[in-house]
Structure formats: C-alpha cells, structure tokens
A = this chain, B = another copy of it.
Amino acid sequence: MATLGLVEYASASAEVRAIYDDIMATRKTDWINNFWKAIANDPATLRRTWESIKEVMAPGALDPLTKELIYLAVSTTNGCDYCITSHTAGARKAGMSDAMLAELQAVVGMANETNRLVNGYQVEIDERLKRAALGKR
C-alpha cells in the first residue's frame, strides 16, 4: 500500500488538480495512474516530476516510441515492477508490438550479460573506441 496514500482527484488541491488535468490532456487519457496519486502527497515533487517527464518524453530527436522503449529497458534492468508494467503499457500505446517487446527484452538481457563479462574480465577501453564514442575517426 502506498506509504503516504493516494491523492484522488476529488479530494486534491487546486494545484494538484491542475497537474492531473495536464497529465490527462497531454496523454489523451481520462484517468490518473497510482504513481502520480502517490507522489501528489508532495505537490512540489508531483509538479517537478511531471514537468520533467513531459519535457523528456516529448517528441524530439527521438520519437515517443523509442523513448518508451528506453524507459522500459532501464526499468527492466532495475527490476521495478510498477515501472515495467506502466512502461510496457506506455510503449504499447506508442506502437510497440509483441515482437518489438521480445526483441527489446533480448537486447536488455544481452546488455546485462556483457556488462558483467566486461567487469569480470576487466577489459580496458580501446583507444579507437574512445575516439569513436567522441564522434571522431
């Protein structure tokens, strides 16, 4: 059970309601999921987090689906069940198919595996890779 409880729309302050309204309008949906209701106990965190998410997840150099896939990859790595569920749902809404989900999870799995092989073998970074990471030849 949410530690500080959930702030429902009906009993929310005007400040919180305005943010809820913006969440629903931006996401073209008619409900608020528990994450926002939980952090709404701290309106400053609700506002800051929503404004950040709204900015970060907006279309830009990366499209919204790619951003949802990245969010899901991180949440899967961290083992956050709520986040895996909500961003699986979010990615589906943005167009993720079952096949894309399966490929995403395969990549996440391999990345977590090879990250540890690198650690275990204590591999030094190639100078050539460093230059390539900087965008230099």
Which residues of A line the B interface, CB within 8 A? 1-5, 31, 33-35, 38-39, 41-42, 44-45, 48-49, 51-53, 55-57, 60-62, 66-67, 69-89, 92-93, 97-126, 128-130, 132-135
Which residue on chain B has the smallest CB distance to residue A130? B85
| B119/A84 in contact, CB under 8 A | yes
| A88/B35 in contact, CB under 8 A | no
Q: Assuming the A-B contacts A66-B66, A119-B76, A133-B88, are A52 and B110 also in contact, with contact meaning beta carbons closer than 8 angstroms in the complex?
A: yes
Chain B residues near A89: list those with CB within 8 A: 129, 132-133
| B45/A130 in contact, CB under 8 A | no
A111 to B56 Cα, complex, angstroms? 10
Q: Assuming the A-B contacts A75-B115, A115-B112, are A99 and B61 also in contact, with contact meaning beta carbons closer than 8 angstroms in the complex?
A: yes
